[in-house]
Structure 1
């Protein structure tokens, strides 16, 4: 499971694609050439992964609300509210996704073992905040898409603005709190899951993918929060070094299995080269991320592509076993 959502600079760069990449909680298929039965996944770990995956699904799907609010805020004077004379009023808002299944899964996970009181409560607050904001966004999206403000002189638009601002603030605060809880739990599960895969399979293709994506996420997490310009260069250097070590581990694996990771390895290696170029430019700008143009956005977008490819590669690696 590679965490990919951020409500910070990282969401500002590529909010649509950055979410949590769910962990694979799957009992491994027996290896074709191995008569011995495969070691089963730790049930306690599988239960925790299931809970996090349910919350992950909800956060990924409801990220659309963050994007929609950012869209609205890009053309509205948030203090004054809409007037109908805005230059980019046609931007409106993004429509939201149906999250019925994700809400149901998250609510079930909240009451399912293992108990994680702080995390479960944070999810409950997040659900309430989302359900308060979502109907307002939906009404506003339709209002601006239909240009109803031309008929009522922006009366409903102003009324919606007064309701949406506090609801959005509550939602974003709840999401930030939940992100913190998820990040802490994910860090622990990452290490446990990686150790579990190694115990069952050795440093297999799946181990290589998971290890690489854990290190890749550390690089993304080293980028500054939204609104901040200065990169912690020491933290970024440490993260890049960790990712580089993961790529070297893949190189060693490829010596044993040249056909393994054929889809994943090339993209992962290329991303390392991009990271080093990005680091060099940041060094020249003394860590000011705003002085490297669109490099950060490009880097995050390619990370998101790597996340998607990792999911496919994980599935294919299970089929090869």
Structure 2
């Protein structure tokens, strides 16, 4: 889901929504969602709203990445001088999110009503639309090396505007992610039950169960604001994810086709999580002292799994 990018090998590169390695959300497959929820219009409506919001959240991660790129070389308090060693890194260009914004805005007025989530989506869109043009201008400025001709004057002008806009965007992003995650958990639980009732613990169920529990692990991971992991919560999430992998293995033993695309990555991720847990034990849960790089890699691997799960969902019939 996330593009290749320069990542600081520090706490700033953790999965916090304000970091350079933000976390993607998994979407329900439109085809399978319609198929499963034909007898439950309320669930179908919730999935449609969730997918609209998820698409917006994932597509706008590029703004987090671009801001993280900028922060990797500039002094945020002083602003650019034109003499920074890595000034040529500049920022990343943003994706076109017009369609995602339109669909998310429409979803705020559609059932099921989610007052807090619907309101934060509106605020998040406003914050993004304030920041995005500034990032686009800054991307062009640094990509074309215009700072070599004006002593970084325009860069400093942009910096003064970008910092408060980025801070506002990241604040709204954090609330949006929290609200969306809570909404999706409820839907995922209902969706798993609906699949099992209709198909048993099928390949579709296995896929959703793996990603549901993988997201639970991500929720227990450290962040910039909380760099010390709650080991008890992490262990519980890890145990649930391990159980989902065992379920997948048992399904594979009885069904040769297994769960397409994601089996190997999901299993390897479990091994990496256990290595990460061992390092956390040595530092009493403080990721800054032992495992910041590992956390960064786990986030990147998770985001790849999200992308693969989307493709796998389309393959399962």
- TM-score, length-scaled by structure 1: 0.87
Q: 1:27-42 residue pairs with structure 2 within 5 A?
A: 40-42=38-40
Deviation at 1:237, TM superposition (A): 0.7
SS state at 2:223 partner: coil
- 2:65 maps to what in 1? 67
Query: 1:259 and 1:146, CA in 2 relative to 1: closer, same or farther beyond 3 A?
Result: closer
Among 21, 29, 43, the alignment partner of 1:14 is 21
- Runs of at least 5 residues in structure 1 that lack an aligned partner in the other structure: 1-6, 31-37
Counterpart-to-counterpart distance in 1, 2:163 and 2:185:
33
**Contact 1:132 1:167 survives alignment (8 Å):** yes
Spell out, residue by residue over 1:176-204, the C-alpha distance to the aligned partner (whole angstroms, 9 max, x if none): 11112101111111111111111111111
How far apart, CA to CA, are the structure 2 residues paired with 1:179 and 1:118?
A: 12
Contact 1:39 1:200 in 2 (8 A): no
Partner of 1:226: 224
> Deviations 1:16-58 (Å, cap 9, x if unpaired)?
xx3211112435899xxxxxxx883521111111111111111
Aligned residue for 1:287, secondary structure, equals: coil
Tell me the equivalent position of 1:178: 176
Judging changes above 3 Å, is the alpha-carbon distance between structure 1 residues 41 and 248 closer, same or farther for their aligned structure 2 residues?
Answer: farther
Following the alignment from structure 2 to structure 1, what is the Cα–Cα distance between the partners of residues 224 and 39? 38
Q: Which residue in 2 is equivalent to 1:306? A: 305
Q: TM (normalized to structure 2)?
A: 0.88
- Is structure 2 residue 282 aligned with structure 1 residue 284? yes
Q: Distance in 1 between matches of 2:33 and 2:93?
A: 39
Residue 93 of structure 1 is matched in structure 2 by 91
Q: Deviations over 1:75-104 (max 9, x none)?
A: 111111111121211111111111111111
- The residue matched to 2:316 in structure 1 has which SS? helix
Secondary structure at the aligned position of 1:40 is classed as: helix
What residue in structure 2 maps to residue 23 of structure 1? 28
* Rg comparison, structure with higher value: 1
Aligned-pair CA distance for 1:295: 1.9
Partner secondary structure for residue 260 of structure 1: coil
Change (3 A) 1:46 1:134: same
Counterpart mapping for 1:1-321 below 5 A: 9-11=14-16, 12=19, 14-15=21-22, 18-26=23-31, 40-290=38-288, 291-292=290-291, 294-318=293-317
Secondary structure of the 1:294 match is helix
- In structure 2, the gaps of 5 or more residues are 1-11
Asked whether the equivalents of residues 9 and 228 of structure 1 are also in contact (C-alpha less than 8 Å), the reply is no
Q: Conserved in 2, the CA contact under 8 Å of 1:25 and 1:46?
A: no
CA RMSD in angstroms, aligned pairs only: 2.2
The alpha-carbon deviation at position 278 of structure 1 amounts to 1.9
Cα distance change on mapping 1:284 and 1:39 into 2, 3 Å:
closer
The alpha carbon displacement at 1:277 in A equals 2.1
CA contact (8 A) 2:13 2:21 kept: no
Residues matched between the structures, number:
303
CA separation in 1, counterparts of 2:226 and 2:33? Answer: 43
Bigger RCO (CA 8 Å, 6+ sep): 2
* Alpha-carbon contact 1:13-1:300 (below 8 Å) kept: no
Equivalent in the alignment of 1:34: none
8 Å contact 1:65–1:134 — kept in the other structure? yes
| Distance 1:45-1:182 versus aligned 2 partners, 3 A rule | same
1:95 alignment partner, SS class = coil
Contact 2:79-2:159 at 8 Å conserved across structures: yes
Q: Give how far 1:220 is off.
A: 1.6
Query: Is this contact kept in 1: 2:67–2:166, CA < 8 A?
Result: yes
